[in-house]
Amino acid sequence: MSDSHLDSPTAQIVSPFMQEPELMLECINLSKLYSEGPAEVQVLEGLDLRVYAGERVAIVGASGSGKTTLLNLLGGLDLPSEGTVMIAGMNLASLNEAQRGQMRNRNLGFVYQFHHLLGEFTALENVCMPLLIAGTDVQSATRRGAAMLDRVGLGHRMQHKPSELSGGERQRVAIARALVTEPRCVLLDEPTGNLDRHTAHEIHVLMAELNEQLDTSFIVVTHDEEFASTLDRVLQLRNGKLELVEAPTQKRGPDTASAEQGEPPHGD
C-alpha cells in the first residue's frame, strides 16, 4: 500500500490499518433514495465503509442524517437504491429474503435504544430465541443462553421477565441476545440512549469487555460523544457520506507503534 494512498481522507474511512486484519463488512458506493410524493429524498449518496474483525466504530450525525437507514442497510433489513453491501464476503443483494435472514442469524446481532424483549418470556428465553430460530436444540440453546447471561452479569436474573428487570438489566439481556449466536458483527442503534448516565457507562464498559473477549465487531450509532471517542474510529454521517472525525487511537497493526511515538498514523 503506497504512502499516497494512506494520505487519502477516503483511506482513513475505508481502511484504518496499514496491515489489514480480516474484513468483516464493506459498503461500496452505497446510495439510498426515498420517494415522498412527487419528490425524491437522497439519504445516502456514494457512501464507502470498511469494518474489520474486532473493530469498534462509532457513527455520529445530526438527527435525520440517515444513521438508522445506514444500519438497516448494513443489516440487510433494507436494500440500497445503488451500491453494494458485503457481510463476511457475501453480497446482500445476491441473497433472497430467506437467505438474508439466515445470514443475519449467523453473522449479525442487533441492539436498539429500546430493548424489544418479549414480555411474556423470561430473560433466558429471550436470549435463547435466536438460537432456537436457527434450529439449535433446546438443551444446547439453554446452556449457551445461560452462559451468555452469566457473561453480562445476569446469571442470577435468568428466570425474571422484562417487567421485573431494571432498564440497564433489560439492555444487558438485549446485548446477550445479540451475542448469543456469536455473530461476527453487532449493529447498535443508540443502545444507551434511554438509560441514565451511570447505567449507560456500565453498558459501555460491558461492550468493551465483550469486544475484547469475543473479537466481535461493533458498529454503534450514538449521540454520546464521550462514548464515541472511546471507540476505534468515529465517523460522521453528513450529506449522505461518512467523514472521519477521529482516527484509530488503539490496538491493531503497525500504526499503533508510530502513534505511540507521536507520529500521525495516516500522514494527516
- Cα(218)–Cα(192) distance, integer angstroms: 14
The full set of domains in the chain, from first to last, is 3-260 (3.40.50.300)
Query: How high does pLDDT run on average in the chain?
Result: 79
In the numeric block, the cell 411474556 is attached to 120
Residue 47 cell numbers, joined = 457512501
How many C-beta neighbours within 10 Å does residue 217 have? 23
Percentage of the chain beyond pLDDT 90 is: 19
C-alpha span between 267 and 83 (Å, rounded): 29
What are the pLDDT digits (tens) for 13-62?
Answer: 544 544 557 888 898 999 988 877 777 788 888 899 999 888 999 999 88
Please provide residue 52's backbone torsions phi and psi, each rounded to the nearest 5 degrees.
-105, 160
Contact 115, 174 (CB under 8 A): yes
User: What pLDDT digit, counting tens, does each position of 209-219 carry?
Assistant: 778 877 888 89
Could you tell me the pLDDT band of residue 125, with boundaries at 50, 70 and 90?
A: very high
Rounded CA-CA distance 254/257 in Å is 6
How many other CB atoms are there within 10 angstroms of residue 152's CB atom? 24
Q: What CA–CA distance (Å, rounded) separates 77 from 98?
A: 12
